[in-house]
Chain A
């Protein structure tokens, strides 16, 4: 579903020097799996995730999502392709002056849906995240966990094949974290959406991922399989992360 082919991302320091946030990296994520990206702060997880929908444009390499090379698209085509990729953020990033229902409607307005279809779809998505009773609330009136469920419903609205989630639970307490992870897991199973989730917690990986890549200094150190909550890790770094968790 997602193929990163020798992608590289470099940033310029204020002093003029360059450094690679993501070293030339290749990664394949299968359709229908929940794939984790784990590593310490600054390892390049967010940058790698943002390369998938081209929020960061790679300096080299190709990004293939659903068979389409995003780096080769015009900006208009890229906007269409992005409607097929939902995104969930650590800080939720909801529009404060729009109600819950209007926030979820936004990607559908972008995609040019009719008013009637939008109303029906928003109701469905609210139901999936169990927030039907909050449709007319504003984000400021919601708890963190509820805000994130709105974020997930919004990411789900345009029926994307892929959802990218950057530390979706890092602003939440442990119990809320579990409910959000369950929510993502349920969406993955019910709708077959491929989920890529960034985290710095092994617990998150154990809890919902099928596979995960361990990143360090902009490189993939290891790709781990997860079965029945057991992480199959070999590298010293992965083992130490597992022991710390």
Chain B
């Protein structure tokens, strides 16, 4: 690129600043709703998945089998297929299939079982004896879940959330292409369809920075919480 076209690229990017800001906001909306659903629904699902396993507090072969099967089923769908097939459901729930909120439905759908598995894996790290000690002291199931399971696994849970956030940043750009908007969508629309390479490069760089920041923050927090 010579000086003139480099200058043009900057001017173009600056003129797109409102769109870029809007795209960032849309990505933030998709990510927030997806992660919120994952925490609120996927978290308890993961706890239940763990506790229903043989030898655990609510050991139940049927429940464990059904939950595991459901989680695997949803997780085996390629995200793009989930996105398309959930269109009708999204229309019922949101009234539209366009926009970041609509895209959040399928994002949430994928994030819930994903996070549930990550939570289950983190909880498995806790030695059985520690849970048993709490049982021997007469702790209630709720107290064991909150004070023992979640507290002992807290650093692993933060790492799980970090992984989830980064994966879903990338999922959200796929969702954006099907009408959700966001940073990935902007990169495709301007950078790919309109041959404005500088927009594509800028958006990818932006994503690179965001991922690095999330991972760094996640690592720091996980390390600080880990007293093992």
Contacts and interface: CB of A to CB of B under 8 A. Distances in A.
Binding partners A and B: yes
Interface of A: 53, 55, 78-83, 85-87, 89, 91, 93-98, 106-107, 109-111, 138-140, 154, 158, 164
Q: Which of B136, B139, B143, B152 has the most CB of A within 10 A?
A: B136
Contacts of B155: 97
Contacts, number: 73
Contacts of A82: 135-138
Contacts of A95: 130, 148, 151-152
B127 interface: yes
A122 to B, nearest CB: 14
Interface residues of B, number: 23
Nearest to A91: B129
Interface of B: 127, 129-130, 132-140, 143, 147-148, 151-152, 154-155, 225-228
A107 B228 contact: no
A158 to B, nearest CB: 8
Q: Which of B130, B227, B228 has the most CB of A within 10 A?
A: B227
B137 A97 contact: no
A91 B133 CA distance: 11
A216 to B, nearest CB: 26
Given A81-B138, A98-B151, A93 B133 contact: yes
B140 A79 contact: yes
A73 B130 CA distance: 24
Given A97-B227, A110-B143, A140-B227, A55 B151 contact: no
A93 B140 contact: no
B138 A91 contact: no
